[in-house]
Homo-oligomer: A and B are copies of this chain.
Amino acid sequence: MKQMTIPQAVAEALHQVMAADPAVFLIGEDLAMGGVFGAAKGLKERFGPARVVDTPISETSFLGLGIGAAMSGMKPVVEIMFCDFLGVCFDQLMNQAAKMRFLSGGTVSLPLVIRTTMGAGDGSGAMHSQSNYGLAASVAGLRVACPSNSADAAGLLKTALEGPDPVVIFEHKGLFDVETPADPELPPVPFGKARTLRQGADVTLVAIAAMVPVALAAADHLAKRGIGVEVIDPVTINPLDREAILASVAKTGRFAVLDEGAAFAGVADALVSLVVREAFRSLKAAPAAITPPHTPVPYAPALEAAWLPDAARVEAAILKMMEDV
């Protein structure tokens, strides 16, 4: 095991897959300098401009290029610097990438990976801090991954390049300075396999990406109060490991989701809805969706901190749930 940050692990995974497979190429903005977060470090020097393609600020055309290349036998990794910029190329995501395999009756594969970053907490303001994987997950035809650590970020990228569907990987900027252990070979990580990070008998808590450490901290505190919180990292949102979630809820009888995404019609709502539809009789209390409020991300530190869910909010929600009898 090696300690790595997410950008380091992604860069290393890209080195490995690009060396192994000439069909893989990287395209996006400011890659020559190693990418603005370092996830493309050393790639241009090593693989040259034909395979590490720096672009103008034209997300629609270079994402579309990725799609067309994937339809023509390549394995593109398209970097959209911040997921906030998905708006300028949303047609290519929502209509072109997402629907093409379906529209071909399944005959066309799109082994396309879109890497992007997300997340609030660094004072970047409303247009560089969103976590809009719920938007992507609501569009049929896309796969969505939200790694919470370096090994997953790298391993999901490898798996994504072998599948027939376009995958959007949302990497959380708030995790970029944290080193987490990873096997130096960075083995592929399966889609649709959740990870139970902590066992608990009382509440099932699903947490996504940067919310995973928040969930674990809350679970620690609650354990001291005698409440067992089972923390599940879904790893991918589509496919979603509903078996793991439902099995846990069957055991605990309580469900909460901790999600930096949309407060309305996001992944939190989707998971609450899934659980209550599938496991209603197991539930002992009203489930909780712990998300930011339904506002853009505010800029000022105090406001941004209040906007982001923290362990205290999780604890309060779970304590309330435990009292709801």
Contact = CB atoms under 8 A, between A and B. Distances in A.
Nearest to A101: B296
B263 A266 contact: no
A199 to B, nearest CB: 25
B289 A141 contact: no
A275 to B, nearest CB: 9
Contact of A138 (B99, B141, B264): B264
Contacts of A273: 268-270, 272-273, 276, 287, 289
A57 interface: no
B265 A127 contact: no
A277 interface: yes
Given A87-B95, A141-B295, A270-B273, 16 more contacts: A84-B95, A87-B91, A90-B94, A94-B132, A98-B296, A99-B126, A102-B295, A134-B138, A138-B138, A138-B262, A140-B294, A140-B295, A265-B267, A269-B269, A269-B270, A277-B288
A6 interface: no
A49 to B, nearest CB: 28
Interface in A277-300: 277-278, 280-281, 283, 285-289, 293-296
Given A90-B90, A99-B126, A276 B287 contact: yes
Copies of this protein, total: 2
A103 B87 contact: no
A60 to B, nearest CB: 8
B285 A280 contact: yes
Given A91-B88, A99-B126, A263-B140, A280 B269 contact: no
A93 B87 CA distance: 8
Given A91-B87, A102-B295, A103-B126, A265 B269 contact: yes
Nearest to A93: B87
Contacts of A132: 94
Interface residues of A, number: 55
14 contacts: A87-B93, A87-B95, A88-B90, A99-B296, A102-B296, A135-B135, A137-B265, A140-B295, A141-B296, A265-B265, A265-B266, A269-B270, A276-B276, A281-B286
User: Could you tell me the dominant secondary structure of chain A's interface residues?
Assistant: helix
A238 interface: yes
A-B pairs with lowest CB-CB distance, top 7: A87-B91, A280-B286, A90-B90, A269-B273, A272-B273, A138-B265, A265-B270
A205 B276 CA distance: 17
Contacts of A274: 269
Contacts of A278: 286
B102 A264 contact: no
Contacts of A88: 60, 90-91
Interface in A129-145: 132, 134-135, 137-141
A270 B288 CA distance: 13
A50 to B, nearest CB: 30
Nearest to A136: B265
